[in-house]
Structure 1
Amino acid sequence: MRVLGIESSCDETGVAIYDGDRGLLAHQLYSQVKMHAEFGGVVPELASRDHIRKLLPLTEAALKEAGLTRKDIDGVAYTAGPGLIGALMVGAAAARSMAMGLGVPAVGVHHMEGHLLAPMLEDEPPAYPFVALLVSGGHTLLVDVAAPGSYVILGESLDDAAGEAFDKTAKMMGLPYPGGPMLSRIAEKGDPDRFSFPRPMVDRPGMDFSFSGLKTAVRLEIARHAKDEKVDETDMADIASGFQQAVVETLAIKCRRALRATGYRRLVIAGGVSANRHLRQRLDEMAKQEKSRLYYPRSEFCTDNGAMIAYAGWLRLSHGQTADLALQVRPRWPLNELEALA
């Protein structure tokens, strides 16, 4: 079965084609970062309009890359949520229209399930069961993944997600959008031990997260070192490095708890923040200490992309799941409400 996948939940337009026998055949992606940078963040209406402009050209490019025509497509998958409702509607409308015109089934995919399954696109994918840490701009989740479609939430953020904390902290530092990746680059030049920032909620049982207090601690430190409303480069780098280390150590502590609670020996990290080099190194060290193995997708599949949606859609379509004709998207959609695979 060859599945065309469409991702349009926020500010990336992704189209990919996945073949159940041959694997990923094509992958096309367009980022709206430059357009939104002018406004310091994503403007939902502009995002939706740009998805409209880019979806069909990217679809044609994906078909050409795969050496296929539209008639070779056996199913269409699209991100049905969570995400920006206008952006989701663009992808859903395009996908359902294509599926109807081609006479093939369509299925809506949960955005976070796409991220969770992204490592399955690699040459050495993890076997089930495993613990998954999903870290992105909008979500921080620890998930017990017993089998495809069988997910139990072990812990989640009670306020800001890890990626959101990175972006908001970067904004406090005066860094341009998107600030999170830039903060990480600045942190590489700093001393992570100069500032002792809190590791939130590690002194209490459980696997939930909270990064609002850490963000406040960083804000106070920035204010303390500001001179004429500016912080010098050394102080900025040290603050960024200390903040990053606090986030990474917090995530590592909670992942260790999850591995011990489940008894699993495989840890998956996915989502935009999983591309962070320092996070990967620390979790790899922790996993080895726990006699476990760390898995993650290649960097281009950490951020939003069509490949993960094509794969997750193929998985659900191959189990007989399809969406009805109604265009139903869910801007908010808890992962544990997903329909289990047969």
Structure 2
Amino acid sequence: MTEPRQKIAFTRPLVLGIETSCDETAAAIVSADADPAKRLVAHRVLSQIEDHADYGGVVPEIAARHHISHLDRLLAALMEDAGLSFDDIDAVAATTGPGLVGGLMVGVMTAKAIAMAAGKPFISVNHLEGHALTVRLTGEVEFPFLLVLMSGGHCQILDVTGIGQYRRLGTTIDDAAGEAFDKTAKLLGLGYPGGPAVEAAALEGDADRFDLPRPLLGKPGADFSFSGLKTAVRRAAEACVAKHGILLKQDRADICAGFQKAIGDCLVDRLRHAIADFREVHGDGTFPLVVAGGVAANKALRTRLTAVAEETGMVFHAPPMALCTDNGAMIAWAGLERFIAEPDIDDRDVSPRPRWPLDSDAEPLVGAGRKGAKA
């Protein structure tokens, strides 16, 4: 007869988090342990990269079907990893937005079902807040901090003063940095996902060969614009094809290097303006500069933003590379932070929403229609 596995004592609360906003089926359990190294109890991510690679980007229906097919088994494996049952969990959190609504529905309905069956509260989590708070899962980062949030759908700089307390200092007025990376990779035939492919190609390239624009460079404020840069990349590629008949490997590398350098120049310029705005409110003390989101995994951009932090008296923080892209740990942790701040929380009446700005009081710049503001 098999002996039952002895349960491990974890620091409570324990929160289960589910992430299905795009093309990662992910779940994790976190605890409120004082030691950051012990907070992540269990963590599973199932990538859909191969399912979308042939299309050069995420296909929403394929993503939703993948979540439906795999989430139950992934959760069962996660609970086995942790040696816990749903009854041992104190709360269940799920990404409720922003994201692809089909995928969001899968994660939210699954999380609500678990919460109801186990008699636990359900916590609605903003996907962007999950990215924003990941550094507090993996380290000791205090409020307030300045946040640079860069992902496939968002590019923002925010003044973060607490849970749910965000003031937008800058945002994209057209495309996000991650979207620009992905579309550049697709245009150059580098495959999907685009960010890592462009970064790898740029290592072999001459960043000064092509004269690519730096949109809004030197302009007041901290907003971004990348659509003109994408257009310039296309024109550079077309010029190479017109000259050689094909796009040579070195052409691709040089365009990628120039594109990545242009993105970095824009980020540095916009960030300096945001830091000045941040210091007008919080003073000249030493504050954290947090970089989060999928684009934060780009080593070249991290290096440049680290240099800005050092030059301006900020302290650079970024999640581990594995937690920069979408994952369940960030959702579980954001849920845990909300649960601690509001022990009576229960969001079971909250529905998935494709758009959900962190700074809900700011005037919409993009997508102010029926779905709500995108940024």
- State TM-score, norm by structure 2: 0.87
Hey, what's the Cα distance between the residues in 1 that align with 2:228 and 2:56?
Answer: 23
- Secondary structure in 2 matching 1:134: strand
- State the 1:180 CA deviation: 2.2
TM-superposed CA distance for 1:307, in Å, is: 0.1
1:146 aligns with 2:168: no
Matched, 1:202 2:220: no
The aligned counterpart of 1:55 is: 71
Q: Does 1:92 align with 2:108?
A: yes
Partner of 1:38, secondary structure, is helix
CA shift at 1:221, angstroms? 1.1
> Is the deviation greater in 135-144 or in 258-267?
258-267
SS in 1 for 2:156: strand
- Provide the C-alpha distance between the structure 1 equivalents of 2:291 and 2:226, rounded to a whole number of angstroms: 18
Per-residue CA distance 1:42-94 (angstroms, 9 max, x = gap):
11111111111211111122212222122111100000000011100000000
CA offset digits 1:186-206 (Å, max 9, x no partner): 001111122221111022101
In the other structure, the counterpart of 1:285 is 307
1:266 CA displacement: 1.8
SS at match of 1:322: coil
Specify the alignment match of 1:336 in structure 2.
359
Q: Report percent identity of matched pairs.
A: 49
Q: Quote the residue 2:192 is aligned against.
A: 177
1:2-13 equivalences in 2 (<5 Å): 2-13=14-25
Aligned to 2:349: 326
State whether structure 2 residue 94 is matched by structure 1 residue 72.
no
Aligned match for 2:339, one of 317, 323, 328: 317
Distance 1:108 1:153 in 2: 21
How far residue 327 of structure 1 moved from its aligned partner, in angstroms, is 5.4
2:30 is the counterpart of 1:18? yes
Three-state SS of the structure 2 residue aligned to 1:336 is: coil
Residues 89 and 327 in structure 1, CA contact (< 8 A), matched pair in contact too? no
CA distance in 2, matches of 1:125, 1:254: 26
Query: CA separation in 2, counterparts of 1:110 and 1:52?
Result: 21
Distance 1:132 1:325 in 2: 29
Say yes or no: does 1:294 pair with 2:306: no
Check if 1:45 corresponds to 2:48.
Answer: no
Distance 1:164 1:26 in 2: 30
The answer for the alignment partner of 1:250 in structure 2 is: 266
Tell me if structure 1 keeps the 8 A contact 2:202–2:254: yes
Distance in 2 between the 1:254 and 1:203 partners?
8
Residues 193-226 of structure 1 deviation map (CA, whole Å, 9 limit, x = unaligned): 2222111102210111000111111111111111
1:234 equivalenced with 2:250 (yes/no): yes
Report the AA paired with residue 358 of structure 2: L
For the pair 1:191 / 2:206, whether they are aligned, the reply is: yes
Aligned length: 337
Q: What amino acid does structure 2 have at the position aligned with 1:259? A: I
Gaps of 5+ in 2: 1-12, 362-375
Q: Could you tell me which amino acid in structure 2 is paired with residue 188 of structure 1?
A: L
Is 1:125–1:295's contact at 8 Å kept on the other side of the alignment? no
* TM score, norm. by length of structure 1: 0.95
Question: SS in structure 1 opposite 2:296?
Answer: helix
Q: Deviations along 1:23-57, whole A, 9 cap, x unmatched?
A: 11011000101011122221111111111121111
Matched, 1:305 2:327: yes
Deviation at 1:101, TM superposition (A): 0.1
Answer whether contact 1:189 1:237 (CA < 8 A) is retained.
Answer: yes
Aligned residue type for 2:345: T
Secondary structure (helix, strand or coil) at the match of 2:359 reads: helix
1:229 Cα deviation from its structure 2 partner: 4.7
